[in-house]
Copies of this chain bind each other. A is one copy, B any other.
């Protein structure tokens, strides 16, 4: 197994000894939902310097076993040993540290208390419970209550480490880097015990799940939709422990019928499709307004390409839960798939927006007073792959400084929450209609907000003010005359017909209302007002399409001139992201491949990995159709040959992408990436572990090509860890 090294521990300097704990305490009352990552405070003494001065550092953790104080103490002990075992470069100086004391804080999101363990070396360890006000409440707690608090804490920790998205770049600008992420379930036999303990905790605290918060698609957490449930399902998928999950869920269902949705979800994960379908049907018979179940059934029908059935279910879901974004969203999707674009736009316009919520992500609790100067970010040397590990940040900042201004800050890239999801729905529509037709559909169903901008109505009394937090671009532009005129000239194609009324008469209230009264009976009455946020999304869509079109046109032009179309990695990456937003996946994948041919980029790598997986599943589903219809065909064997070749190629690319991303994550102290593990598990289930092992062995045995930036080290060890994990949980394909 890969042993943690001292170079895998990032640290930040404290302002004064213990200040990070003081800061955390002062912010306890502001922790919402899942709360922040665990915090570890380390006291360090230099053994080399004469004076016996102590300094304090801290870092964050996820995935550490927090099921009781003893296991945390053991973690701290081994951390102290690790740091004390070797000298290290510390802000340019070689230092040998001794660690006399460490404190670990982990947030119990159920009871809203901070659980803390302090280890003295040499000496004993002690633990504390700190409430929201920063007061120690340990004394007032019975042993039984304390056990319960620890179980809650453990469940909170696991949910946090599962929900914390590994889609994001581990090293994004200004983000949290002084954090180490560990796989909580990759600890041999012991982790089986932890898994069972977690499922036990899930069952026990299921009723408190809403306390942990929920994602952006629903306004309020419910018993069935919340982070506890999300985390639980992710654990089940990761460890493929479907039967354990089903047992627990069936017990819960006896008390709460709506749990049936979760059972059906696990059955689908387990590939027991028929059982799942039957169960969903039963559930709906019992409660035909169970929106979660209707959604699941609708999604199932979408996956089966029965959009007609999905449409009916989505309609019923909307009727059952009209304030949820996700019920409306699937209705939009169904209409889009059925080419009913007018209804798709009307339903999109009715989607309830949720501007106050953010996706869960780990954030700094202790601010860095000295900025990045306070950070000690060593490079782990145990696992390296030259092109990934040697990436120079000055190269990236050069690209940033010289970025094509057309590509800077395309506002669609910064959409958040439900606005991002609504944009996704809109691009699905434009993908099928094209821009010009989309505008026609829009004009057919909507009266545009700007025709009514003067309208007093737009203020207190409508839902429109929910949109004020949309990307700033649009809002600012409309606030001052000139800017919006300039804007108009650049996006002239997007503007709806100019107002005919002008100046004077338009602003006269009596006048305007008379005008409206006269005309409303005809055209306007049949149309609906386009919500301001949707209006804004059309604007952003136009900008994305413009950037995309310019790129494609330039590319053709350069090809005609037989000139090289040169872009930096960062520029290719942005173009790729635009293309992906617009669902031009092929073009996007070319851009990402170009980006990666320049240098490694985690984002491009992750996006192209998605593309490979998408392509493979397209080919696999085409083949399963072909194999039934063409089995008697003459070309069968050539077909099979080609097919095998393409799939093998894609699998190799997927494996390569995973490995590069694992190395990148490892360099940034992230040794737990559920998405990548799931991708590899899927590969193992399709190809068998033996084949994967030998592929890795062939390409990544240490130090093959040290000359051409593909030199590497430790990758097979890193992968061995994952093989062990697959074997431990008997992942599909682990035994062949």
Contact = CB atoms under 8 A, between A and B. Distances in A.
Contacts of A31: 480
Given A222-B507, A479-B32, A456 B133 contact: no
A665 B549 CA distance: 60
B220 A459 contact: yes
A114 B481 CA distance: 14
Nearest to A466: B465
Interface in A495-514: 503-504, 507-511, 513
B112 A480 contact: yes
A209 B222 CA distance: 50
Contact of A456 (B220, B507, B510): B220
Interface in A206-232: 207-211, 218-224
A207 B504 contact: yes
A507 B325 contact: no
Interface string A13-45: 000000000000000011110000000000000
Given A132-B482, A322-B461, A463-B461, A207 B507 contact: yes
A363 interface: no
Given A220-B456, A290-B510, A324-B456, 6 more contacts: A207-B507, A210-B454, A221-B507, A287-B510, A461-B463, A463-B463
Contacts of A504: 207
B323 A457 contact: yes
A685 interface: no
Interface stretch (A350-358, A585-593, A726-734): A350-358
A74 interface: no
A385 B511 CA distance: 55
A693 interface: no
A331 interface: no
B460 A222 contact: no
Contacts of A510: 257-258, 287, 289-290
B219 A507 contact: no
Contacts of A132: 480, 482-483, 486
A220 B458 contact: yes
Interface in A56-102: none
Contact of A218 (B456, B463, B511): B456
B509 A224 contact: yes
Contacts of A30: 476, 480
A455 B321 CA distance: 11
A220 B454 contact: yes
Interface string A435-475: 00000000000000000001111111111011010000000
Contacts of A509: 222-224, 258, 291-292, 321
A379 interface: no
A253 interface: no
A47 interface: no
A507 B210 contact: yes
B507 A468 contact: no
Contact of A219 (B210, B220, B458, B503): B458
A291 B326 CA distance: 42
Contacts of A513: 289
Contact of A482 (B112, B325, B463): B112
Interface residues of A, number: 67
A468 B354 CA distance: 12
A256 interface: yes
Residue in A218, A256, A481, A507 whose Cβ sees the most chain B Cβ within 10 Å: A507
B460 A466 contact: yes
Contact of A325 (B219, B289, B454, B460): B460
Contacts of A511: 256
Nearest to A457: B323
Contacts of A353: 460
Contacts of A481: 112, 211
A250 interface: no
Contacts of A455: 220
13 contacts: A30-B480, A32-B480, A112-B481, A132-B486, A207-B503, A219-B456, A222-B508, A223-B509, A352-B459, A352-B460, A352-B461, A354-B460, A460-B466
Interface string A330-365: 000000000000000000000111111000000000
A131 interface: yes
Most buried by B among A211, A352, A466: A466
Contacts of A462: 463
Contacts of A503: 207-208
Interface string A242-279: 00000000000000111000000000000000000000
A456 B323 contact: yes
A308 to B, nearest CB: 27
A458 B351 CA distance: 14
**Among A208, A324, A459, residue most surrounded by chain B Cβ atoms (within 10 Å):** A459
Contacts of A468: 356
Interface string A190-201: 000000000000
Contacts of A324: 456
A205 to B, nearest CB: 11
B220 A483 contact: no
A219 B453 CA distance: 11
Contacts of A325: 460
Given A132-B482, A480-B29, A256 B508 contact: yes
A209 B454 CA distance: 13
Contacts of A218: 456
Contacts of A222: 456, 507-509
A219 to B, nearest CB: 3
A416 B460 CA distance: 15
Given A132-B480, A479-B32, A486-B133, A507 B461 contact: no
A505 to B, nearest CB: 9
A202 B455 CA distance: 24
Interface string A518-543: 00000000000000000000000000
A508 B511 CA distance: 52
Contacts of A458: 219-220
A658 to B, nearest CB: 38
Nearest to A323: B456
Given A291-B509, A510-B290, A323 B466 contact: no
A475 B695 CA distance: 56
